[in-house]
Chain A
């Protein structure tokens, strides 16, 4: 079964750091670009970051640039999001998503992990 499972969410103080993980299974992880998308409570979907299949290229939304770092370990079939200088507006459910091979859709999503930023 093709599956993505996020972990690492939790409560963090403003200014703090957190690392999210996304474990992939059921497909050749190293062949796919991967993405992070977040959803604040009761709000819509917001794109966060992307990484190419080999990890050589990354992209960040302006809202997280300089504070978040996306990475992957293809030997462990795992995607990461290192989040720093966290703000209240970063509080959201964070989803990892697989980029389709044609490159234009998010065809598999994880169940999400909640990040709460509060003192």
Chain B
């Protein structure tokens, strides 16, 4: 079965603290993993994708096929990072984009 699991509903950190949002997946073929973000009163938008190996707004994510994980990390959280984050998956076995349950990141001043 194709599935994305985000175990934390809410992650609350202080400004300047490191952040790690967890994402685990289940997929039989070659997956493509993404992180999407939704800021308050804005539409859902792409943050980053694993194939690009990019850092966006200081966030990085590495695909670990052995652990089937794609955790999102940032060394120093900022207040403007407060948002809902969704991990998503697609790949060669499907035309669908499958999302996890979402994690709300709250960065306190």
Are A and B a genuine interacting pair, yes or no?
Answer: no
| Residue positions of B touching A, CB distance < 8 A | none
| Residue positions of A touching B, CB distance < 8 A | none
